[in-house]
Amino acid sequence: MRLLFLGDVFGRPGRKVVADRLPALRERWRLDAVIVNGENAAGGAGITEAICQDLLNAGADIVTLGNHAFDQRETLVFIERQSRLVRPANFVAGTPGRGAAMVETASGARVLVLNLIGRLFVGLHDDPFAKAEAEISASPLGLACDAVVVDFHAEATSEKQAMGHFLDGRASLVVGTHTHVPTADTQILPGGTAYQSDAGMCGDYDSVIGVDKHEPMRRFLQSTPGPRYEPADGEGTLCGVAVETDPLTGLATRIASVRLGPRLEEAWPRFWD
C-alpha cells in the first residue's frame, strides 16, 4: 500500500500548494491513502468547514488536527458531522469529535488513522501512550486493518521518539507534527514501523514556522507587545512523508521524505518514479 502524510498546512500558502500539487501526486504515485494535518490551515490557527472540504477535495482522505483544533469556533460544531476530520484522541473526555477514523481505499484495504497530542510543552492532556495502546489494541494491524498511521502532534522530539518505539511493529507509520520543520531522521524502526520526528509544514518557509517573520523577530529583540501574528504569504512548499507497506503485514517496507517547493532542498520517493 502507498501512503502519503502531509505536515501542518499553514495558512493560504499551505492550502494553495496542497490544492495545486496533491491531485497530480495522488495520480502520479498511485496513492492508496493520503492524510493531511490541517490544524493551522485557517490563517495559521485552526480549520473551518470550507477549508476542511477543500483539503478533502484536493485528495486528502483524512484531515488531522492538534493543539489549535478548536481555534475556529465553528469546528466545535462541524467536527461532529465530518467523519473524515479527527482531533487528538487524548483530549479530555467530552471533547467534540473523534480521535481516530478508518478509511477504506479504492482497493478495499482499511487504514486506521489515529491522532494524538503530546504533553510536554503542549498543554494538559490525557496520557497519549495509554490512548495509543487502547486504540491500536481495539483495531490491531493485520487483523482489523491493513495499515495504521499515527499523527503525534507534539513539541518534544524525545516524546515523539518514545511514541515511535512504543508502537514499533504495531503501526505502519508514526509521524510527528507541530514544530513545522522537517527532521532528518526518516527511518524504518527495527520492528517495521516507519518513523519521522516531524513531517514539516506545508507553507511558506521564508517565515518563522509559517508566520510572517518580522513580528516574531521584533518580539525576540524587544520585550514589548505588538500586533498579532500573521501568516507569511509567499510561495508554499509541500512537506510530508511517503510510505510503502507490505500487503501481508501492513508494516513499512520503504519510507521517504517529501519536500517540494522553492525554499527547501527537494526530496521525493524516487522508488515510485
Which sign, positive or negative, has the C-alpha torsion 101, 181, 44, 20?
Answer: negative
Residues assigned a catalytic role: 68
| DSSP conformational letter for 272 | G
Q: Which residue has the cell 473526555?
A: 93
Q: Give 196's strand partners.
A: 175
Burial of 248 (0-12, 13-18, 19+ CB in 10 A): exposed
Q: What are the cell numbers at 19?
A: 490544492
Q: Give 163's strand partners.
A: none
Alpha helices in the chain (DSSP H): 11-28, 49-58, 75-78, 128-138, 157-166, 214-221
Cβ atoms of 86 and 100 within 8 Å: the answer is: yes
Residue partners of 75: CB distance under 8 A and separation at least 6: 46, 47, 48, 49, 69
Q: What are the cell numbers at 233?
A: 504569504
